[in-house]
Amino acid sequence: MSGQGEAPLVAVIATGGTIASRRGADGASTPSLSGEDLLALVPQISARLKPVDLMAKDSSSLTLADMQRISDAVGVELNDPAVAGVVILHGTDAMEESSLLVHLQHVISKPVVFTGAQFTADHRHADGPANLAQAIETALDRKNAERGVLLSFGGRCLPAWGLYKRSADAADAFRSARPVAHDSGLNFAAPVTAMRVDIVAIHPGCDATHIDASLQAGAGGIVLAALGSGNANPGIAAAVKRCAERGVPVVVSSRVPEGLLVASYGGGGGGHDLVAAGAIHSSTLRPGQARILLAALLAGKTPAEKIISAFKDSPLS
């Protein structure tokens, strides 16, 4: 326990990513800095820092099992009474997925903040130290626990729900599709390690080849990165019906990054028709986060009607 008058303790969980990367002799950037190395780069801050070296991976290579490890590690720190807040250093490619999983699986009793970097630690415009310093300050504000899991990045503080990466090369890289409070009354504690949920990209004129391949590969659920507000074509609607007949849920999201998704179009393969064929419409979550929510729901053996309601959102109060 912290002694009286001691600065608060913030756990900093290092998982790799660009923030921990340097460019090697071959020109490739790989995670090579430990949590302690990264904390040494942070300007003077009014907190004690506890580095936790969990893994050193590019987030593009993370599996659901890796994300579960991250979520479990956050749980350990949340249960440590000496820890005032938790910061997770993470790659930007899958930041939205891991942060949502943590948000779903835990009662956030103290601030939990993800951050990372767009530029490597040895880049002339390295943004990692500033992002980390801001994330620690965010984790020190006890009121932030009420907001669920947060992302502190590029000068912004965003909620995990609805998060997406908007830019591959800008320091201000993230936005939220539609900030919402999500309270489904469901228990998301079941681990997602063994789940398989695939994302299938929809494009004009596409057929059901990849949906059928996912079924054959044993996917427990499928997310469609559909067009517009969640539209496809009659062939995809027929494939959705086949999935429904096999008890494999299909969630319809969109490749469009912003805006509320409404299942209103017909024509044989529009969003309205996909729902009629048995699909679940995701009103806010884009494909990456929809996959995480669906995996969590399936891991918890959630009834079909509750899976549908879990993808509906209500505005923040």
**pLDDT tens digit sequence for 46-82:** 899 999 999 999 999 999 999 999 999 999 999 999 9
pLDDT of amino acid 181: 55
- DSSP 3-state assignment of 206? coil
> Which pLDDT tens digit goes with each residue over 272-287?
999 999 999 999 999 9
Q: What pLDDT, on a 0 to 100 scale, did the predictor assign at position 179? A: 60
The secondary structure of residue 43, as a DSSP letter, is P
Is residue 185 very low, low, confident or very high in pLDDT (cuts 50, 70, 90)?
low
Supply 7's token pair.
Answer: 């600065």
Q: Label residue 223 by pLDDT band (50, 70, 90).
A: very high
Residues near 217 by beta carbon (within 8 Å), at least 6 away in sequence = 196, 198
d(CA 282, CA 275) in angstroms, rounded, equals 11
Q: What is the mean pLDDT of residues 171-200?
A: 83
299-310 mean pLDDT: 93
Taking residues 9-37, what's their average pLDDT?
Answer: 87
Give CA–CA dist 195/249, Å, rounded.
13
The contacts of residue 61 (CB under 8 Å, 6+ apart) are none
Could you tell me what percent of the chain has a pLDDT over 90?
79
Residue 226's Cβ-count burial label (10 Å; 0-12, 13-18, 19+) is buried
Asked whether the beta carbons of 29 and 23 are under 8 A apart, the reply is yes
Q: Give residue 1's pLDDT.
A: 41
pLDDT tens digits for range 80-136: 999 999 999 999 999 999 999 999 999 999 999 999 999 988 888 889 999 999 999
Q: Cβ(129)–Cβ(87) under 8 Å?
A: no
Return d(Cα 270, Cα 314) in angstroms, integer: 24
Residue 6: pLDDT over 60: yes
Q: Which residues are catalytic?
A: 18
Token pair for 125: 């415009």
pTM above 0.95, yes or no: no
Q: Please choose, from the candidates 9, 190, 231, 7, the residue with its C-alpha nearest in 3D space to the C-alpha of residue 106.
A: 190
Q: In percent, how much of the chain has pLDDT > 70?
A: 94
Q: Find where tokens 């986060």 sit.
A: 289
The answer to whether residue 312 scores a pLDDT higher than 90 is no
- Residues 235, 280 contacting (CB under 8 angstroms): no
Whether the pLDDT of residue 201 is over 70: the answer is: yes
Token code pair at residue 45:
């801050």
- Among residues 109, 115, 89, the alpha carbon closest in space to that of 35 is found at 89
Of 187, 242, 191, the closest CA to residue 219 belongs to 242
Res. 3: pLDDT tops 60? no
**Would the pLDDT of 230 be above 90?**
yes
Helix (H, G, I), strand (E, B), or coil: what is residue 301? Answer: coil
Average pLDDT of the chain is 92
Tokens 């969640």 found at: 230
- Above 70 in pLDDT, residue 317? no
Rounded to an integer, the average pLDDT of 144-168 is 95
Check pLDDT > 50 for residue 238: yes
**Contact present, 193 and 101 (Cβ < 8 Å):** no
- Nearest by Cα to 118 from 13, 49, 29, 27: 29
Which residues, at least 6 apart from 76, have a Cβ–Cβ distance to it below 8 Å? none
